[in-house]
Amino acid sequence: MEEKDFAAHLTATMTGAALTMLIGVGHRTGLLAAAARGPATSAGLAERAGLQERYVREWLGAMVTGGIFTYDGREYTFPPEHAKFLLGDTSANLMPSLLTLSAFTGILPELERAFAEGGGVPRSAYGPYLETLGAKTGDSWKHIYREHLVDGFFGAVPGLADRLTAGARVLDLGCGTGNAIAVAARAFPASHFTGLDINASVVEQANENKPENAEFVVGDAAELTADPPYDVITAFDAIHDQDRPDVVLRRIREALAEDGLFFMVDTNFSSHLEKNVGNPLAALTYSISLMYCTTTSLAEGGAALGAVWGTEKASEMLADAGFRHVDVLGSPRPQNCIYACRP
């Protein structure tokens, strides 16, 4: 990249970072929701949102020049084709991810300390920043599960939906607030679903509205046992975050029936950096991995696989854990793939 092109690249990077922060401001102050109601002047939008016009006007300047809003010389418009990516209860809404990314800036001093001294940033350190910036645990995947879990994810594995329809014992590792199980349990009432997570607070949330054919328990996946074994074990974007992923994968294999299926959804990248160059999602994923996945694992003395552990490393670890048949399949999201693993 030539010098002038690199300077432009850095300017675009800074612009994106600044707009990310201001989009979060628009979410928390209600400006985005107010603007979605229709075109308005800066004074009209400020009145609609109950805010100060001068602040709203400057914010709108960033939104217009940043390509988020349009402006006709008098009124500002939040186009519906843009709004769907920042508002609404659909998987297209990127606001949960944006808010989470913004919250990560709060732990940067601790992360920089770990660079120099070792160790990491514990998961508990993130809570105050996530809460302050309006990021909620599980929101990034909630609508994805509702729209894509049954047909998109489960549907990618031949025979899985039939098995769940007939009735199976299913375990979801790293269940969080139970969004995946909530969808699956309604779709497959003959099956019984158990959610396991080490975080007691999210398990408590999951239990508040659990389906009749589901239960949620607190536990460490590295200590998983099962008697009788499970027919299906699922893990959504969870294995690379385990402190002892090799142990967890062996435990999964031991807890699975001989004709069972381990259904793992994880990131869709190579284990080799040079093969990820040019992937438009790679830089963001490496960044998130550093600011959360890697450092939270190192805080516990874990393996720190990181989010970009890659399909090669994942396949190798699955084989080492005792899975002799592993199919890597596409998913409804380009940043994820599916591992259909059988003993």
Task: Fill in the amino acid letter for 95.
Answer: M
Model confidence at 171: pLDDT above 70: yes
pTM: 0.93
Beta carbons within 8 Å of 256's beta carbon, 6+ residues apart: 226, 229, 230, 233, 262, 343
Question: If you ran DSSP here, which 8-state letter would residue 69 be given?
Answer: S
Q: How many CB atoms lie within 10 A of CB 225?
A: 9
Q: What is the pLDDT of residue 45?
A: 98
pLDDT band for 269, please (50, 70, 90 cuts): very high
Q: Which residue has the tokens 């998913």?
A: 331
Q: In angstroms, rounded to a whole number, what is the distance separating the alpha carbons of residues 162 and 155?
A: 10
Burial status of residue 52 (CB atoms within 10 A of its CB: 0-12, 13-18, 19 or more): exposed
Cα of first residue to Cα of last residue in the chain, in angstroms, is 47
Q: What is the pLDDT of residue 1?
A: 79
Tokens of 7: 């300077």
pLDDT band for 137, please (50, 70, 90 cuts): low
C-alpha neighbours within 13 Å on the C-beta side of residue 159? 8
What is the chain's mean pLDDT, rounded? 96
Task: Fill in the amino acid letter for 225.
Answer: T
CA angle 188, 190, 192 (to 5 degrees): 85
